[in-house]
């Protein structure tokens, strides 16, 4: 039976490189995944393509989808956004995103799994939405910290603010990624980095809802994904764990978090 596979985590945690590594080294698993293309109100990043990475649309056009049913597949720039099933519309770190439910069901009616890669707010809505209550789901959260590290850091004797710690970790990753993409950063770039880094702790608090949590220190800023023929370090461990999960095999690297792990 086809599933809705969701790979999620904070911005820059390494979701994109993980998917690319799966495509390169486990093509038989990746071929079973059909990536869902969401609507997004933000501008494309360098290298992103409309209709491939997202359907990039004005914010007001996506906002209007809250009141409309969906179109199914075949979105084109300027096409009217209307149809039958409906959309899941969310504000995500200041950007508006929308998932076309009819498009999801079209994918699931075939032999492939529908695949979402992105922020955890869309999977959270998918897990509780009555529109998707009958859809089989597999959810994986990619985390910049392991359960053991969180337990260590939250010890009151260490006097560490976990939200500040996580923000700092993700800020560094986001800065390196954005500098690699743009070289010179604008004030708008820096504001976007702060917004995404500041959201990471809140997003990690949602990880206990997911079937699996994969710790990964090699974010999108890390060369461990593609500097060599095969990923090394945490990039390799995350890839092996994700491949095992997709195959229905046991993996000792993935974790299951309790609800109160992150205060």
Query: SS in 3 state form for 55-93?
Result: EECCHHHHHHHHHCCCCCCCCCCCCCCCCCCCEEEEEEC
pLDDT at 237: 98
- Cβ atoms of 140 and 7 within 8 Å: the answer is yes
In this predicted structure, the answer to whether residue 95 has a pLDDT above a threshold of 90 is: no
Confidence of residue 73 (pLDDT cuts 50, 70, 90): very low
pLDDT at 85: 62
1-32+112-263 and 37-110 have identical folds = no
pLDDT higher for 142 or 192? Answer: 142
Contacts of 198 (CB under 8 A, 6+ apart): 167
Q: What is the pLDDT of residues 19-46, one digit of tens each?
A: 999 999 999 999 999 999 999 999 898 8
Q: What is the pLDDT of residues 194-222, one digit of tens each?
A: 999 999 999 999 999 999 999 999 999 99
- Provide mean pLDDT across the span 148-153: 98
CATH number of 1-32+112-263: 3.40.50.300
Taking domain 37-110, whether its CATH number is 3.30.720.210 is answered by no
What residues does each domain of the chain span?
A: 1-32+112-263, 37-110
């Amino acid at each position: 039976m086809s599933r809705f596979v969701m790979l999620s985590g904070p911005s820059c945690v390494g979701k994109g490189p993980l998917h690319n590594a799966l495509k390169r080294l486990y093509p038989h698993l990746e071929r079973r995944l059909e990536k869902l293309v969401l609507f997004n109100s933000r501008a494309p990043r360098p290298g992103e393509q409309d209709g491939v990475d997202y359907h990039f649309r004005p914010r007001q056009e996506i906002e209007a989808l809250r009141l409309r049913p969906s179109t199914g597949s075949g979105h084109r720039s300027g096409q009217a956004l209307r149809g039958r099933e409906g959309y899941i519309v969310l504000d995500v770190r200041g950007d508006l995103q929308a998932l076309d439910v009819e498009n999801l069901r079209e994918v699931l009616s075939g032999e492939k799994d529908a695949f979402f890669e992105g922020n955890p707010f869309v999977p959270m809505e998918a897990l509780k939405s009555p529109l998707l209550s009958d859809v089989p789901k597999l959810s994986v959260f990619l985390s910049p910290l392991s359960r053991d590290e969180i337990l260590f850091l939250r010890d009151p004797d260490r006097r560490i603010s976990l939200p500040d710690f996580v923000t700092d970790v993700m800020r560094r990753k986001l800065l390196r990624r954005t500098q690699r993409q743009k070289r010179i950063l604008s004030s708008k770039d820096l504001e976007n980095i702060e917004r995404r880094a500041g959201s990471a702790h809140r997003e990690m608090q949602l990880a206990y809802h997911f079937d699996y949590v994969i710790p990964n220190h090699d974010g999108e800023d890390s060369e461990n994904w593609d500097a060599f023929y095969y990923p090394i370090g945490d990039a390799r461990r995350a890839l092996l764990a994700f491949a095992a999960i997709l195959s229905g095999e046991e993996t000792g690297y993935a974790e299951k978090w309790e609800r109160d792990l992150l205060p």
